[in-house]
């Protein structure tokens, strides 16, 4: 299908649908969301020429997964964003079933995308090409085509290149599935982004003492942070346990040490990045001031997503807030990006027992709490949070079945920082020790109500709206 035809269809979808989408009371006030259609993975996250660029997997034509485009936003401050020209449309034979996820690099002053071209065949098989595109002075991208075919020894599930530079060479991690249907992360090297050499498997199921650990590993991201190498990855096929791995697919990280020459990654145990109901496919970038920033998709690729009420308004899914990462005692800590404090408006403070606190507006709000004891928090009678000696439990009713469902974090609860935005909450526990991100769909003007014997000191800010320009 020609690029011109796809662009015309995308434009028609946006023009005809954006007013209906904008009137949805569940549409976020300051989180990033697509103008219409279905959005999923963040892609091409980079700070380039002092401006952040964030692309995203996007089907502008329908609220369903399909042949994905790449939409594109940019921002000077991670708070105020504007639409940029559509980055990629799946118009070529090597990407006939979607421009799948990838990353962005600064190649001698040229912003370059590295992404997966997804191709499916009539017999049910598939293949994948790793492709390049470069941005011109108008903010538009020119495709350079495939630079890496499907490596031998793997199924057609090889995708999501994350690329960086180290000691004058380009390196890439790729998510993959081997012929034994085991998930892996591949490490590759190139002098020029065009000629790639496969160095080996650095992590995966049945490697490094892991045992069986999923049939596919998606969205790998490898970076150095506070003297440690961190591998972020999304393993598919982990069995649910009592307190963890409760979502259909997981997202987490390993801390370790990468031996570039021998393609060996010595790492510790797997830790989930987020313990809530919706979080997947995170991607990081390094800011000009040296911070490691992360944005994730506040969604999960499973059937329940299509029961979200925003589908009736012609749009689906949001991104998480941008987060700053640090490492302490071998664990990754996450904090809302400091730039988000620009959104704060009037502040109100309360202290006392949970039972004595007033109801609080959480349509678009930030709360900072210290907690001593047991408390229950009801978010518009739609989502609940219980803080108890053994940890935190989030509960809601499943949109598909109506049955109650829960997510858990185990540990002592000292402080909470909660970001609320109409149909989402992000709960940062103990100054970033853990996060629980979830969508929920309350009536307009939702209220938060506390109960219990805990002593609470609370700060509450209303957050101003931030329209994407």
pLDDT beneath 50, residues of the chain: none
Q: How far apart are CA 159 and CA 117, in angstroms?
A: 8
pLDDT in tens, 324-347: 999 999 999 999 999 999 999 999
What does the pLDDT read at residue 218? 98
Is residue 233 within 8 Å of residue 270, measured between CB atoms? no
Catalytic residue among 24, 41, 192, 361: 41
Q: How far apart are CA 310 and CA 90, in angstroms?
A: 25
Nearest-CA neighbor of 369 among 448, 305, 263? 448
For 28, phi then psi, to 5°, come to -70, 155
What does the pLDDT read at residue 83? 96
Nearest-CA neighbor of 339 among 40, 81, 54? 81
Quote the Cα angle for 433-439-442, to 5°: 125
Task: Provide the 3-class DSSP secondary structure of residue 121.
Answer: coil
The single residue listed with the structure tokens 């994730």 is 296
What does the pLDDT read at residue 467? 84
Contacts of 216 (CB under 8 A, 6+ apart): 157, 175, 176, 177, 183, 235, 236, 237
pLDDT in tens, 150-196: 999 999 999 999 999 999 999 999 999 999 999 999 999 999 999 99
Q: Which CATH number fits domain 3-336: 3.60.21.10, 3.40.50.410, 2.60.40.10, 2.115.10.20?
A: 2.115.10.20
Domain with CATH 2.60.120.560 in the chain: 338-463
Nearest-CA neighbor of 155 among 130, 132, 177, 138? 177
| Paired sense of beta strands 344-353 and 415-421, if any | unpaired
Q: What is the DSSP string of 13-60?
A: HHHHHHHHHHT-TTS-SSS---SSEEEEEEEEEEEETTEEEEEEEEET
- Residue range 338-463 forms a domain whose CATH class is mainly beta
Q: Is 370 exposed, middle or buried (0-12, 13-18, 19+ CB in 10 A)?
A: middle
Nearest-CA neighbor of 88 among 76, 75, 77, 98? 98
What does the pLDDT read at residue 303? 79
Q: How far apart are CA 282 and CA 280, in angstroms?
A: 6
Catalytic-residue membership of 41: yes
Domain with CATH 2.115.10.20 in the chain: 3-336
What does the pLDDT read at residue 302? 85
């Amino acid at each position: 299908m020609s690029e011109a035809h796809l662009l015309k269809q995308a434009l028609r979808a946006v023009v005809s649908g954006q007013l209906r989408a904008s009137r949805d009371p569940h549409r976020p006030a300051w989180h990033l969301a697509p103008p219409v259609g279905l959005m999923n993975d963040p892609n091409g996250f980079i700070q380039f020429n002092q401006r952040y660029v964030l692309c995203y997997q996007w089907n502008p034509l329908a609220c369903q997964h399909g042949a994905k485009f790449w939409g594109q936003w940019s921002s000077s401050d991670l708070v105020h964003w504007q639409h940029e020209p559509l980055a990629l449309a799946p118009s070529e034979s090597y990407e006939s079933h979607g421009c799948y996820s990838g990353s962005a690099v600064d190649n001698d002053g040229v912003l370059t995308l590295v992404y997966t071209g997804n191709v499916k065949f009539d017999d049910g098989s598939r293949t994948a090409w790793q492709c390049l595109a470069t941005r011109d002075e108008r903010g538009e991208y020119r495709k350079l085509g495939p630079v890496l075919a499907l490596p031998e020894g793997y199924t057609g599930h090889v995708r999501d290149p994350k690329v960086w530079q180290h000691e004058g060479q380009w390196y890439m991690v790729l998510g993959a599935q081997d012929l034994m249907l085991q998930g892996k992360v591949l490490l590759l090297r190139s002098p020029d982004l065009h000629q790639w050499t496969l160095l080996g498997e650095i992590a995966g199921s049945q490697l490094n003492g892991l045992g069986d650990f999923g049939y596919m590993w998606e969205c790998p991201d490898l970076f150095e942070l506070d003297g440690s190498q961190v591998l972020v990855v999304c393993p598919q096929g982990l069995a649910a346990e009592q307190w963890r791995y409760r979502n259909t697919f997981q997202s987490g990280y390993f801390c370790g040490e990468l031996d570039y020459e021998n393609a060996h990654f010595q790492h510790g145990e797997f830790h989930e990045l987020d313990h809530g109901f919706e979080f997947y496919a995170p991607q990081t970038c390094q800011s000009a001031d040296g911070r490691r920033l992360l944005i994730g998709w506040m969604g999960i690729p499973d059937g329940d997503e299509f029961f979200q009420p925003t589908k009736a308004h012609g749009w689906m899914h949001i991104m998480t807030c941008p987060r700053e990462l640090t490492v302490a005692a071998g664990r990754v800590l996450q904090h809302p990006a400091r730039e988000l404090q620009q959104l704060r408006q009037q502040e109100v403070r309360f202290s006392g027992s949970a039972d004595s606190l007033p109801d609080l507006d959480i349509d678009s709000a930030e709360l900072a709490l210290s907690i001593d004891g047991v408390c229950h928090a009801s978010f518009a009678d739609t989502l609940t949070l219980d803080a108890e000696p053994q940890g935190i439990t989030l509960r809601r009713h499943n949109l598909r079945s109506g049955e109650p469902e829960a997510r858990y974090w185990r540990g002592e609860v000292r402080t909470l920082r909660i970001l609320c935005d109409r149909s989402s909450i992000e709960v940062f526990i103990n100054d970033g020790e853990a996060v629980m991100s979830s969508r929920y769909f309350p009536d307009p003007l939702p209220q938060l109500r506390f109960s219990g014997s805990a002593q609470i000191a609370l700060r509450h800010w209303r957050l101003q709206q931030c329209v994407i320009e």
